[in-house]
Amino acid sequence: MMLKPFDFGIAIPLLGAVIASFLYAYSNTGGRSTVNLKSESGEWVFPLDAVETMNVSGPLGETVIEINGTAARIVSSPCLNQTCVVAGAVHAPGQWSACLPNRVMLYVSEGEKENNVDAAAW
């Protein structure tokens, strides 16, 4: 059985539609990155493009978090080893920094897409 031009006329657009649907489904467009802060005193969410400085309370004292519009970092903390301060800034979804002795966590996540399906639909 030989392929005819009509067969290619159907197969190529279908293949293009499958590739386009994969690209659309797995792209990161439409989401807005957020900075998530967690401690014993509460949880906060800020857009990554915000400019904020926040004091977060922990068992050892105050940890100072800075969001500068493109990245977030722990500026100072009362812990002894200061590993969280030296770790530097986080700027991409999935990156995190924490002051474990003071129980403060900072991480960047991809925000919700505008037309996202909610949990009730699943």
pLDDT tens column, 17-70: 989 888 877 765 556 889 999 999 899 999 999 999 999 999 999 999 999 999
Residue 1 in any domain: the answer is no
Flag whether pLDDT at 115 surpasses 50: no
pTM above 0.85, yes or no: no
Residue 42 in any domain: the answer is yes
Residue 95 in any domain: the answer is yes
Residue 3 in any domain: the answer is no
Residue 43 in any domain: the answer is yes
Q: Give buried/exposed letters for 6-29 (b at 16+ CB in 10 A, else e).
A: eeeeeeeeeeeeeeeeeeeeeeee
What pLDDT shows up at residue 112? 60
In the chain, how many domains are there? 1
CA dist 55 and 65 (Å) reads 6
Structural domain boundaries, residue 49: 33-110
Residue 83 in any domain: the answer is yes
Residue 121 in any domain: the answer is no
Residue 7 in any domain: the answer is no
pLDDT digit string (tens) for 83-93? 999 999 999 99
Q: What is the CATH number of the domain that holds 95?
A: 2.60.320.10
CA dist 104 and 42 (Å) reads 10
